[in-house]
Amino acid sequence: MNGADSITVELVPEVTDDVRILIGELDQILSAEYLPEQRHGLALDAIFAPNIRFFLARLNGAAMGCGGVAFFADFAEVKRMYVRDVARGRGVAQALLARIEEESRVTGFSLLRLETGARQLAALRFYERAGFQICAAFGAYATMAPQAIATSIFLQKCL
């Protein structure tokens, strides 16, 4: 991260233009890589369900990333995490994940899980560096048809 860069991560209680644009970019990327049944991202309106906290990351004031955490009975799950290419390697993803982990801890969770695509190599490297380890399919993923999760990688981390 450049010493002059300023990163902020804010809780977003509802859909904003920045969130709409970032999720649109993420959906476009994933649509080019995966079949519809292999994309498990929440719809825009579902991101703001009562069991989800969603965050927007800004780099020097500009929206550069987003991500959320969904709370289930015995684990929390990272949802819709995305950082624009121009902001990668500048601490934005780390700041977002730190906020997601903190939100999970203060809400009482000690296990954080996620699903990501097997073709998202940069994301896989990032999560592995952050201490996540490969695990079996969990939650709703565990009951999906094999072809629906054929391109999914499941990871978890104890907080």
For the stretch 62-95, pLDDT in tens is: 999 999 999 999 999 999 999 999 999 999 999 9
Amino acid at 147: Q
Q: How would you classify the pairing of strands 111-117 and 152-158?
A: antiparallel
Enumerate domains of the chain plus CATH numbers.
7-158 (3.40.630.30)
Range in 2-6, 23-27, 40-44, 140-144 the model is least confident about:
2-6
10-16, long-range: CB < 8 A, 24+ apart? 10/55, 10/56, 10/58, 11/53, 11/54, 11/55, 12/54, 12/55, 12/56, 12/66, 13/48, 14/48, 15/44, 15/45, 15/47, 15/48, 16/56
**pLDDT at 74 (0 to 100):** 97
pLDDT band at 4 (very low <50, low <70, confident <90, very high): confident
Sign of the torsion angle spanned by Cα atoms 133, 127, 78, 117: negative
Half-sphere exposure (Cβ direction) of 79: Cα atoms closer than 13 Å: 23
pLDDT band at 35 (very low <50, low <70, confident <90, very high): confident
Beta bridge partners of 152: 117
Would you call 140 exposed, middle or buried from its count of C-beta atoms within 10 A (0-12, 13-18, 19+)?
exposed
Please give the average per-residue pLDDT across 114-137, as a whole number. Answer: 97
Q: What is the pLDDT of residues 99-119, one digit of tens each?
A: 999 999 999 999 999 999 999
Q: What is the percent of the chain with per-residue pLDDT over 70, rounded to a whole number?
A: 98
pTM given for the model: 0.93
pLDDT band at 3 (very low <50, low <70, confident <90, very high): low
